[in-house]
């Protein structure tokens, strides 16, 4: 199991707008293609104006296939301009759990 941790630093004060448009439109498109949403978070302490979402994939090939399907979806392409100008920076990590991690021996997909 692999976990993709995507962190976006947003423009100051834009978290409510970002969450609104993702909640109303974007998340359904993402879930249709990416499948296994582990969690979607916004920061209140520490680095502010951050969004973190975590997706689970069976393999790295599974992730690549699913991300390509999402990128090719016309609905996703139409959605992206609604959030693009709200994002200042983006960071992406691919993580695999240790064997003793609560999700380490489980396949949540």
Strand 87-95 with 50-57, pairing: unpaired
Tokens describing residue 107: 């396949």
Confidence check: pLDDT of 96 > 60: yes
Strand 36-42 with 50-57, pairing: antiparallel
Which pTM was predicted? 0.87
CATH 3.30.70.100 for domain 2-95: yes
Q: Would you place residue 108 in the very low, low, confident or very high pLDDT band (cuts 50, 70, 90)?
A: very low
Sequence ranges of the domains in the chain: 2-95
Higher pLDDT, 100 or 88: 88
Per-residue pLDDT tens over the stretch 57-89: 999 999 999 999 999 999 999 999 999 999 999
């Amino acid at each position: 199991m692999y976990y993709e941790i995507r962190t976006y630093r947003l423009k100051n004060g834009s978290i409510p707008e970002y969450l609104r448009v993702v909640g109303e439109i974007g998340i359904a498109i993402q879930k249709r293609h990416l499948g296994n949403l582990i969690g979607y978070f916004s920061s209140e302490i520490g680095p502010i104006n951050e969004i973190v979402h975590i997706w689970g994939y069976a393999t790295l090939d599974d992730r690549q296939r699913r991300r390509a399907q999402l990128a090719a979806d016309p609905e996703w392409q139409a959605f992206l301009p609604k959030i693009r100008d709200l994002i200042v920076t983006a960071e992406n990590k691919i993580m695999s759990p240790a064997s003793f991690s609560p999700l380490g021996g489980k396949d949540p997909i």
